[in-house]
Structure 1
Amino acid sequence: MALSPQEDTNRRMLRARDEMDRRYAEPLDLVALASVAHLSPSRFGRVFKDVFGETPHRYLQRRRVERAMALLRQTDRPVTQVAWDVGFASLGTFSRTFSAIVGCSPSEFRQQTEVVHVPTCFVAAWTRPRERTTVSEKQPDSGAD
């Protein structure tokens, strides 16, 4: 059974995203990821955003922050080591990115985190970083409560 062009594109994009998930802590460049999807780098960036709703760079940042959150919860490694372990080359970039996505610094996150005896798959789903929105981006309340 032949795939439709959209299904083929989606599968190639999933392969590229899987590569990002596997190698999140390594330096990844757009050219290498685009080659996994058999697209030019500029086309890859546009198609990735169309398929997943965010740029490849932002997706990789969120994945790295998600893994950093797990390390901050589960280990006592210094924040600098956690930043390096998840692929950030600079503590400043890590802290700025972490704060923008999570809403607090890595140190504050670690202090706020309680030890919870819940399967890690549930914790990961509940605490997955979400894109923050500003007040002006929020949809008006329909008033139906």
Structure 2
Amino acid sequence: MAIDLNLAAQKYAQNTPASANFWAQAAQNAAGKWEQKAKSQEAEQNYATAMQYVIQNQLRLKGLQNVTATDYAQGVANSVNVFQTKTANAHMKWQNRFAPFASIIDRIVETLPPKIPGNPDANIDNRVKPIARALHDAKVRGVTAGYAAPAPMRREVRL
């Protein structure tokens, strides 16, 4: 007997949203275990292996073959309320996470030479690049919420 795709889609539409509370409870119960495993070297190695597989087999590109600009736009339109809800009360989290970077910017700005009127290239080299470099270095080191995170495995990428 063939699979009735219409019936399967109807069941999916009915049952999947109804399981949200079950999913949320299971996810909350697993949070500690998730954090421990997600931050492990084993997880980092698994991620690197998976990404190599994805790259070698062009799975990202293959996965996008049946996705259109309309699909993308519809996903955005369907997610506006999620974005609003998640960001409405996130200002303190944002502030705490941005604070170490703001401190870096403030520290670097104090050391920059004055702007050179009419010379945007020199201003970029002398004023923008030092800030960008310092922020990049902090990100690579793993600066988060004022604390240094474990050093990430770094792979040199040249474009």
Larger Rg: 2
- TM-score, normalised relative to structure 2: 0.23
Q: Which protein is richer in helix relative to its size?
A: 2
Higher RCO, 1 or 2 (CA under 8 Å, sep at least 6)? 1
